[in-house]
Structures are given as structure tokens and as C-alpha cells.
Structure 1
Amino acid sequence: MENFTDLKIGRRGFLAAAAAGTAALAAPAFIRDARAASEITIITWETYHEDAWIAEWSKATGVKVNVVRAGSNDEIFAQTQSGAIQADVLYFESGSIPRFKEAGLIVPIDASKLPNAVNITPDLKYQERNTVDGDLYGVPYSWGTQPLMFNADVVTEGTDSWAALWDEKHAGKVNLFDDAYITFPMIALQAGVADPFNLSDEDFARCAQVLAALRPQVRTIARGFNDAEAIYAAGDAVIGYCNNVSIVFNLQGKGMNFKYTFPKEGTPTWIDNAVLTPHGDRPEVYQFLNDNLTLEWQSRFISLSLNNGVLTDEGARQGGVKDDILAKTNIIDQNQPSFWEKMVVFKAPESVDRRVQMWNDFKAGTL
């Protein structure tokens, strides 16, 4: 049995092939006088803020933007807490907001200064999910699901449940991402835990049993999106926990019959937000965030990366997203009547450290 303890992951890698051949969208127009020289520093993810988009915005506004691309929430936290990077804006998911707030790393955001926030799909309920102690701390930039993915030519039954990952027919052919934070909620759901983000000692014991039973099923753990795609394409995995549905569509583009489903136990779902640090409470920063929420900016982001962005399908089409692109996202999925009832949106967990330790024990085979 392999030891996975040395593997690392960037939570969102760039799947360039996912959008290959996509027609270029018209660039968003930033019609305003260039303001005095200023700088903004952001810590974001790959595909979220491409260099060409940033250069275009800086040319139009006179504000330089320094882009730092992170590989995990923990990396963003460490870089910010240590002071290694003096960022103005951080991009991370809703469940991590309390952790950053408690460390004094972020400040409330004033949504009234972001008129383009009206373009955000109301289904994200960000005012509710991103409010802590009465203050709003984040405005969404993108969201995504982490469903069950599988090769439909090989896996022909049981795909309505996470239990399929434990089916002995798929021994050695199950793939996971090496990220305790994103994987643990799925494990907790399969363990039958009532709240996958608030585990008791008994719940942790159940999760340990479920993880131990999964260990023989897993031969490879993906170190990134491209790595996961290569593992499935080579036939080294036929079923797994999908970190981004773009992987499925990339494999379909290679002629492989991969699909994804939302299991009945619930599907972990993340919402990434723009969050301000104390350095970022400035007019030019709000200008940048507001321009990031135009239909044009968001539609280009969706079309070139296959991320969901924050638009409704109507807003995306108005911004220029083609139907064939929409079909490769969850933007249309959310129109299903019971879609959000099946989603389990990330919240702050009871103990990140305890989850990471159990995950490391799983990888080492010592559970």
C-alpha cells in the first residue's frame, strides 16, 4: 500500500484545455479617468484573475494590481498572518471567515459600495453565510460543487450515494484530493453525521472508521486538477470525489464517458469571496471589487475558466457566455428545483487541526 504523506495540492489549478477553443469575449470597459498612481495587492487562485485582465484594468484606472496566487486556504492564512504578504484583498471560501476574523486578519466589507453586487445570484445567500457577529465579511466571486465523478462505462450502478467509493468492485480505482479541509465533509456525510462541520468525539470516531475502510480503495491521491485528470485518463481511477466539475468535462473532451452526480447524502459546496484586510479598506480597492462583478468581467471569467462565477444563467448569457459553456458549469444546475437542498455549503469546522491530523493518519495508513 502506498504512503501518501508527501503529496501536496493546490486547491484550484488551471485546466487550460477545459476552455480550449472558447471564443474570446469582449473585454469589459472601464470608462473613467485614470486616478493617481496607487497599488492593490490580492491573494487569489489560478484562473481567478488572469494577467491580461489585470493589465487591462490597471491601464484603464491607473491602479497597479499585484497578484499572488495561492494553493490552499492554509497558505493564504499563513501568508497573511505572518505578514509575508501585505495584501488588500483575500479570496477564500465562506467557512474560513470566522478563522480569519478571530485572528484579526480581516475587516467588514461595505456592500453598499459595490453596486454591481446586484449581479450576484440570490441563491448564494451571501449576506447570511458571510455575516459574523452582525458584520458582513465577504462578497462572492465564484462558487462550485464537489460531486461524485465516475467513468460511466465502468461504474454502472450506485452512483446516487457516496457509498459507491467504498464498493469493493472499485478497489484500487478510487481517487481523492489531498486536502483534509475539502475532503472531510464528504467523509462525515458518508458516516451519517448530522452536521459535517460540527463533529463530536463520537462523530470523529465514526469518521475514522469510515476513512480506514476507504484506505484500501485508494491507490492514488491527486496533487492538483491536472493530476486528477491524468489519473482518470490513464484508467488509474474510475470513480472519485470531484474537486471541480471541469475535470469531468475535460475528460469528456477526450472522448471518455465521465459523468458526475450529486449524492443523496449531500454534496459539499464552496463559495469563494473577496474579503478585505485592514489595508484594503480603500476606495480603489472597492472600485476593483465592483468592476470584478460586472456582467462582462464575470462572463469572461466563466467562459475562460469554466468556473461558476456568481451570475445567474440569464446574467451570464447577457454578459456573453454561450450555452455550450453554461452546460459545462453548475450555473444551469442551480435552476433545478431541489438543487440547493442537495448542497452542503462549507461552514467553519470545529477543529481544522484535528481533521488534518486524521487525514494525515489516513494517508500514512495508521488509522
Structure 2
Amino acid sequence: MKHPRRVAALAAVAALALAVSGCGSSSGSGGKKSAAGFTAPDVPMAKKLGTKEGAVSILAWPGYAEDGSNDPKTDWVTPFEKATGCQATVKYFGTSDEAVNLIKTGDYDVVSASGDATLRLIAGGDVAPVNTSLLTNYGDIRSFLKDQPYNSVDGQMYGMPQGWGANLLTYNPDVVKPAPTSWSSVFESSSPYAGKITPYDSPIYIADAALYLMNTNPDLGIKNPYALDKEQLAKAVAVLKAQRPQVSEYWSDYLKQQQAFESGDSVIGTSWQFIVNLIDADKKPIKAILPDEGSTGWSDTWMIAAKSKHPNCAYAWLDYIGGPDGNAASAYYFGEAPANTKACDVIATTDKDPSFCDTFHAADEAYAKKLWYWTTPVSDCLDGRTKVKCTTYADWTQAWTEIKG
């Protein structure tokens, strides 16, 4: 597998703002209530497509829109340009917060948004509802990635799914014995692997502790790891403060985590499948599992900016990157399960890697249902509670600062 370039980080919740713009004249989903409790601004949605404008500005996670500038052999943007006549400019971002701020400038047409950013973009009126009937490849997108609480409002989609993956319990089998089956192996107070545990470096990691508590302390009443009231947040923070002295390092750079596992500085922690593949390719001992409790994960969606200057080329990009060839190229390079059901055959043929989609559980809906995809915590509890207010990502950010000291 090629070297992916994902470097993810998350940031605080943005305030609601309305910026009505779009490429069509039909009404969007204004007035519809999201699962997060906000009413979606009335941003227009395209009724039909017109003449392509000849250009599109793409805002992307590294590895999602490669044009050959990083590696001449890695380029799926140029075939898109030749097929559509839309000349693409690509800007990479390093954090979801950066992506949210950049899309507000009006300088970009499309953005690849993770689940922690999508609701902020929808609530802020920064992205337009997407008319999926205008996307010829939408029907081939796996059903369990559509109409989710993080990429839709009351049945109205806001983009084209890109792909998904799990945060896995990863360990060195030569050191960690017996093989772990639960997240307790990284959260128990007296781990035999103290000083060599590596957690993900982000406030969203609080959700991992909350998921652990869902299974070990059901009396707390946690039903959704992103919906924590003050007491539940305090309990999750306590777990992470107890873990802190046992941590070798918090990671966000996948290369550094790869090196830590290979050197033995870290022997167990949270990781991603493609990092495991890289370590395995170096013939170093490594294994990864989806624990009994399930896990957190990510599901990314391509969205169209409300202020898009090239909406027709924007739709063309969504259709291409969600199509079998574009989706196969990006998911394979990036290291995740592709969203398009036909992408696996393309990967098996083009990249001669028939086991790729099995490794990433691309067609395994039961596996996908065990994941709690990154979602921005908001005050209106995502688990449906109405008699209590939940903590927000700003609260989580403050708590994360306290955890790390």
C-alpha cells in the first residue's frame, strides 16, 4: 500500500452564522431541524446543472486530491481535468478548524470535511445542500454512509461520502501478552505497559474514554460518547487523567507513531489501519483489532461551499471523486475504506491489491455499525436527552488542556 498522508486534528465549535448562497434557485433545507438541535440555514440547492465554468478550487485533506505535484506517479486530479474541462487548484489543510475557517473566505468550491467539521459547516450556512439526483455515481455509495447525523439534516444530504475508517486498538504482539480484547488494556489504572501507551492527541479522544465508560460503568448513563453532560464528562476526564502518567506520547503525526511502535517506545494504543500496514511492511511486529466495545472512527464527506464560484465544476468533482475510479485512487492512497461499492474492483485491478477492501472492511456494514464516527459535541444532547444540557467541544478542549497538563 502507498504511503497515505492523513494528519488529523480537531478544534472548537464555531458559532452559527448565516451566509446564503448557492448555484441553484430551489430552496435548501432551511427550517429543517438537525439531530444536533439546530435549524439548518436556508442555503439554496441546485435544481439542475449548467455549463461548467472551467475551474474548481479544491480544499482537501492531504491525500484526497493528489495532482502529481507530490509524486508524479500519484495523480487522479489530471484525469478529472481532462474529462471535465475543469482546471483544478488544490489546497491542503492540516486541521478541521483550518478547513472551516478557509471555506468561510469564499475562495474554495469544495471541501473534504470530517465528521467533526460537517455540522459546523452546515449550521454556519457555509455549505449547500447537495442535490444527489445530479450525481450519477451517488447510487453506488454504500447506504450506511448516507443520511447520517453528521452529513445530513432531516433526510437532506450535504455532500458525497468519501470513505471511512476505525480508530483501532493496536499493539506489539511480542510485548503485549496475552493479546488484548478490550480498551481496558489502555485505560486500566495499573497497566503493565505503563510508559508505553500512545493515545491520539486531540480533545476528541475524550470520546474514546467515554466509550470505555459506556461499557464498564453503565450506571453513568452514557448512550453516545459525543453526548456527555457535566458529570459524564468529568468521569471521562478522570479516566484520562489517570492514564496520563502511563502515556509514552500523544500522537497526531502518523509517521511519528509508526516510528514509536517500530522502535519500541510505544507498544499499545490507538492507531489507524494504514499505520499498521506501514509498520507491517517494515516487517516489525504489529497487530490491530476492533475491541469488543467497538470504537470511534471517521467518515469524511465532500461538501460544496455555499459561496462556490464554480458550482457546476464543484458538482463534477463530487461526482468524479465519488465515482469508482476517483474514489478507488484516493481511498487506496489515503488508506481507508472507499465509499463507492465499485471502487474495490478498481483497486483490485488497477493497484493489483484484491485484499485491500477486506483489510479495511469496506463492505462490512456490521463492522461499520460498531463505530462511533467523530461528531462535534454540542449543548443539545446528541443522544436525545432534553432535560439536561450536554458539554460542547469548547468544554472538551478546555478539559483536554487540563488532562495533558
What's 2:356 paired with? 325
Note the C-alpha offset of 1:103: 1.8
Residue number among 278, 303, 309 corresponding to 2:338 in the alignment: 309
Tell whether the 8 Å contact from 1:94 to 1:138 is kept in structure 2 after alignment: no
Which runs of structure 2 are paired with 1:1-367 in the superposition (5 Å)? 10-11=7-8, 38-51=54-67, 52-81=75-104, 83=105, 86-126=107-147, 129-157=150-178, 159-167=180-188, 168-181=191-204, 183-192=205-214, 193-242=222-271, 244-280=272-308, 282-312=311-341, 315-318=343-346, 320=349, 322-331=353-362, 334=364, 338-350=366-378, 351-364=392-405
How many Å separate the matches in 2 of 1:123 and 1:135? 15
More helix by share: 1
How many Å separate the matches in 1 of 2:337 and 2:368? 15
Residue identity opposite 2:361 in structure 1: N
Unaligned runs of at least 5 residues, structure 1: 1-8, 13-34
Note the C-alpha offset of 1:343: 1.7
SS in 1 for 2:57: strand
Length, aligned pairs only:
326
Q: More deviation in 121-130 or 196-205?
A: 121-130
Tell whether the 8 Å contact from 1:126 to 1:139 is kept in structure 2 after alignment: no
Residue identity opposite 2:237 in structure 1: A
SS in 1 for 2:8: coil
Note the C-alpha offset of 1:274: 0.7
How many Å separate the matches in 1 of 2:232 and 2:317? 43
Q: More deviation in 299-308 or 258-267?
A: 299-308
Change (3 A) 1:134 1:331: closer
Tell whether the 8 Å contact from 1:249 to 1:328 is kept in structure 2 after alignment: no
How many Å separate the matches in 2 of 1:90 and 1:169? 43
Tell whether the 8 Å contact from 2:203 to 2:397 is kept in structure 1 after alignment: yes
TM-score normalized with structure 1 length: 0.82
Q: CA RMSD in A?
A: 2.3
Residue identity opposite 2:304 in structure 1: L
Q: More deviation in 88-97 or 183-192?
A: 88-97
SS in 1 for 2:249: strand
How many Å separate the matches in 1 of 2:61 and 2:368? 25
SS in 2 for 1:303: helix
Note the C-alpha offset of 1:113: 0.7
Tell whether the 8 Å contact from 2:112 to 2:300 is kept in structure 1 after alignment: yes
Tell whether the 8 Å contact from 2:147 to 2:156 is kept in structure 1 after alignment: no
TM-score normalized with structure 2 length: 0.75
Q: Taking every aligned residue pair, what percent have the same amino acid on both sides?
A: 25
Q: Deviations over 1:313-339 (max 9, x none)?
A: x6512563522433442325x26xx42
SS in 1 for 2:163: strand
Note the C-alpha offset of 1:127: 5.5
Q: More deviation in 42-51 or 276-285?
A: 276-285
How many Å separate the matches in 2 of 1:286 and 1:341? 29
How many Å separate the matches in 2 of 1:101 and 1:42? 18
How many Å separate the matches in 1 of 2:124 and 2:207? 24
SS in 2 for 1:170: coil
